[in-house]
A and B are shown apart, each in its own frame.
Chain A
Amino acid sequence: MADTAAAKGDAPRRKSLLDTLEVDTRLLGMIGAFVVLCLVFNIITDGRFLTPRNVFNLTIQTVSVALMATGMVFVIVTRHIDLSVGSLLATCSAVMAMTQTAILPDLLGGLNHPLTAPIALVIGLCVGALIGAFNGWLIGYLTIPAFIVTLGGLLVWRNVAWYLTNGQTIGPLDANFRLLGGINGTLGETGSWIVGIVAVVAALLALASGRRSKKAHDFPVKPLWAEILLGAIMAAVILGFVAVLNAYDVPENRLERLFEARGETMPEGYTEGYGIPYSVLLLIIVAIVMTVVARKTRLGRYIFATGGNPDAAELSGINTRLLTVKVFAIMGFLCALSAAVASARLTFHSNDIGTLDELRVIAAAVIGGTALAGGIGTIYGAILGALIMQSLQSGMAMVGVDAPFQNIVVGAVLVVAVLVDILYRKRTGAK
């Protein structure tokens, strides 16, 4: 019958190492490109690119775009686009800034009240999700193309933000709120090691439970050594990342000030590393949650099914209109989260916050392998895409490339990345 050819292909054969490990070769290619990029910059800058300090800065600079890129994956997978994310970020940032500087101090009595940051954050997240849901309703139920709705949104929300703040820079923001910004809030060395070890244990447990569930149904599993090798690589990467961030020492005079604030004197030769910034921890949590949503929930299934074949999804009883609302609500929520990180990093809300972020976010998702035709995309790919873009940008700045050339290179890289992706998909026969 027609299937014999396929059956033959399944006959036992010698597999390569990569096949045995069952890793995504596309992911491997991206990681390879990223590593090459880092090494090249490191050589040109005489080793200044891969210092703990620069790695630390790179990660906190990436967070804002990477957070939104995870949401953009869902938007693009369902065959939509969101051009309004940068403007939505500005509106959410304005709302949060006004809440914590103009409204809450009067209500709670004074600045830096412990409740100020959480309340401002919750209000911002609600506003973001609601605006996103509204966009989704226009697109899903009123069937206005997403391109138009969000192109309009690009203008509308940018200027709503302007109106809310009268165009002023709002700051300084609440001290607790600023902890989200990166360098102003980190876990410290011990906390970072704890998080790192918890992450390693969780990763190993996930590998083990995946293997157990496959075995329970008598599916073929990887050889045990491959599983162990994979686990060892994951553990090494996680702990290595923690070690690098811990190796970036807090400047001496800053430590001195910290000790003074506590009424102590700093011991001679005392050092302390920054560790993992809260914002990076936030990104990691969002990445895990979004990956679980994409792969392990009905919502994720329906997002990918709708992207693959909207008619089939509809005929399978999926409410694709409501799905659109949900996808854009998630996008709006992430814009608000990103707004909190971005404004906390600056320590104030500025009128131009998030300008052109929509392009960076879309580029990150696309470089990360999200297909504009829909149905294909991964969360980790989008984050890696954001990291690659940020590395390029700051690497070039470090080398001293002129600003116009920086943007020319980033634009060209976007186009070339998509071309490489198309060629790769053709060669591997994937769609």
Chain B
Amino acid sequence: MVDRSGTPLVELRDISIAFGGIKAVDHVSVDLFPGEVVGLLGHNGAGKSTLIKCLSGAYRQDSGDVFINGEKAKIDNPRDARGYNIETIYQTLALADNLDASANLFLGREIVTPLGLVDESAMEAETRKIMNRLNPNFRKFNAPVSALSGGQRQSVAIARAVYFNAKILIMDEPTAALGPAETQMVAEIIGELKRQGIGIFLIDHDVHQVKRLCDRAAVMKNGELVGGVVDVDKVSTDDLLGMIIAGKTPEHLAA
């Protein structure tokens, strides 16, 4: 069980963000503890991705604060987020298709030789190490990632997030484009990261997957949080669907 007695790893407090009069996120508060997976559910346009982008540095919230380990954090761009050990795996994976796995893994954080030149051999060696751990079948180290399968690409994106000692991981629909075997691979990796004490925000459409992988879930509708962050063991998939579709808090939690 996740220990929720200490300070939360992440606390998004009263976040609001509007785009030209439309409130994409409306006073939402969510927290995340070490070793915990919190699912973010909702329709397209419900505001879950927008909310999480305030944490990953892609957007800046209009009001509200982000706390990391109880301290107020200032996140203005993706670089700031990396400074707080927040890593994001985007739905699009954000890979440069023309470069190989190790170039993508180290993009923006290359290993350099004393002369300031990039050390390709060292980076490839590190890439081989981490890929052996995450996806032992991975072989295509010298091919551009455009030549990889969906699962292989996903494992490169995950490796990139994990390699740099992520404490907080954001995964935006990591299994949306994957087959069953590859989905299973991602599930195993999530379990492994949980055991290492990493906190994970998992954005997903699939309520079954959220029930299976997450400890708690937050449902968003029209930019608002429906019924707070709920323990997935205390709600059924039907309850979750009701929250997503109708924005209705289940009766046994409403009290």
A residues with CB within 8 A of B: 1-4, 6-7, 10, 213-214, 216-217, 219, 292, 296-298, 301-302, 304-309, 311-318, 375-376, 429-431
Min CB distance A96 to B, Å, is 31
Which chain B positions have C-beta within 8 A of A309? Answer: 94-97
Q: Does B144 contact A (CB under 8 A)?
A: yes
Over the window 34-53 of chain B, the binary record of Cβ atoms lying under 8 Å from chain A Cβ atoms (1 yes, 0 no) is: 00000000000000000000
Over the window 118-149 of chain B, the binary record of Cβ atoms lying under 8 Å from chain A Cβ atoms (1 yes, 0 no) is: 10111011000000000101111000101101
Q: Is the CB of A315 within 8 A of B96?
A: no
Contact for A2 among B90, B112, B122, B152, CB less than 8 A: B152
Q: Does B77 contact A (CB under 8 A)?
A: yes
A-B pairs with beta carbons under 8 Å apart, 10 shown: A1-B182, A1-B185, A216-B121, A309-B96, A315-B88, A315-B94, A375-B96, A375-B97, A430-B147, A431-B147
A304-B98 in contact given A3-B151, A296-B117, A298-B110 (Cβ < 8 Å):
yes
A317-B92 in contact given A3-B138, A214-B121, A431-B146 (Cβ < 8 Å):
no
Q: Does B8 contact A (CB under 8 A)?
A: no
Q: Is the CB of A292 within 8 A of B117?
A: yes
Which chain A positions have C-beta within 8 A of B4? Answer: none
Q: Complex formed: what's the CA distance from A95 to B136 in Å?
A: 60
| Nearest neighbor of A313 in chain B, beta-carbon distance | B96
Min CB distance B237 to A, Å, is 28
| Nearest neighbor of B90 in chain A, beta-carbon distance | A315
Q: Is the CB of B96 within 8 A of A2?
A: no
Q: Is the CB of B107 within 8 A of A307?
A: no
Q: Does B99 contact A (CB under 8 A)?
A: yes
Q: Does B54 contact A (CB under 8 A)?
A: no
| Nearest neighbor of A431 in chain B, beta-carbon distance | B146
Contact for B137 among A1, A313, A318, CB less than 8 A: A1
Min CB distance B90 to A, Å, is 7
Contact for B118 among A1, A301, A318, CB less than 8 A: A301
Over the window 226-251 of chain B, the binary record of Cβ atoms lying under 8 Å from chain A Cβ atoms (1 yes, 0 no) is: 00000000000000000000000000
Top 3 closest pairs, chain A to chain B, by CB: A3-B137, A308-B96, A308-B98
Q: Is the CB of B118 within 8 A of A297?
A: yes
Q: Does B82 contact A (CB under 8 A)?
A: yes
Which chain A positions have C-beta within 8 A of B94? Answer: 309, 311-312, 315-316
Q: Is the CB of B107 within 8 A of A431?
A: no
Q: Is the CB of B121 within 8 A of A315?
A: no
Q: Does B108 contact A (CB under 8 A)?
A: yes
Q: Is the CB of B140 within 8 A of A298?
A: no
Which chain B positions have C-beta within 8 A of A10? Answer: 139
Q: Does B208 contact A (CB under 8 A)?
A: no
Min CB distance A303 to B, Å, is 11
Which chain A positions have C-beta within 8 A of B78? Answer: 314-317
Which chain B positions have C-beta within 8 A of A296? Answer: 117-118, 120
Which chain A positions have C-beta within 8 A of B98? Answer: 304, 307-308, 375-376, 431
Q: Complex formed: what's the CA distance from A91 to B144 in Å?
A: 40
Q: Complex formed: what's the CA distance from A308 to B96 in Å?
A: 5
Q: Does B70 contact A (CB under 8 A)?
A: no
Q: Does B58 contact A (CB under 8 A)?
A: yes
Within 8 A of A (CB), among B66-108: 77-79, 82, 88, 90, 92-99, 103-104, 107-108
Q: Complex formed: what's the CA distance from A296 to B117 in Å?
A: 5
Q: Complex formed: what's the CA distance from A213 to B108 in Å?
A: 23
Min CB distance B143 to A, Å, is 9
Min CB distance A375 to B, Å, is 4
Q: Complex formed: what's the CA distance from A315 to B94 in Å?
A: 7
Most chain B CB atoms below 10 A, which of A292, A304, A305: A305
Q: Complex formed: what's the CA distance from A2 to B149 in Å?
A: 8
Excluding A301-B107, A301-B110, A431-B98, 16 further A-B contacts by CB distance (< 8 Å) are: A2-B150, A6-B140, A217-B124, A296-B120, A298-B110, A304-B98, A307-B98, A308-B99, A309-B97, A312-B92, A312-B94, A315-B58, A315-B90, A317-B77, A317-B79, A430-B144
Q: Complex formed: what's the CA distance from A7 to B131 in Å?
A: 14
Q: Does B255 contact A (CB under 8 A)?
A: no
Q: Complex formed: what's the CA distance from A305 to B104 in Å?
A: 8
Q: Is the CB of A4 within 8 A of B99?
A: no
Q: Complex formed: what's the CA distance from A217 to B116 in Å?
A: 20
Q: Is the CB of B124 within 8 A of A304?
A: no
Q: Is the CB of A297 within 8 A of B117?
A: yes
Which chain A positions have C-beta within 8 A of B118? Answer: 296-298, 301
Q: Is the CB of A317 within 8 A of B149?
A: no
Which chain A positions have C-beta within 8 A of B112? Answer: 298
Q: Complex formed: what's the CA distance from A376 to B97 in Å?
A: 11
Q: Complex formed: what's the CA distance from A311 to B118 in Å?
A: 22
Which chain B positions have C-beta within 8 A of A305? Answer: 96, 99, 103-104, 107
Q: Complex formed: what's the CA distance from A99 to B118 in Å?
A: 40
Q: Complex formed: what's the CA distance from A296 to B124 in Å?
A: 14
Q: Complex formed: what's the CA distance from A317 to B108 in Å?
A: 6
Q: Complex formed: what's the CA distance from A341 to B122 in Å?
A: 40
Q: Complex formed: what's the CA distance from A375 to B147 in Å?
A: 15
Min CB distance B66 to A, Å, is 18
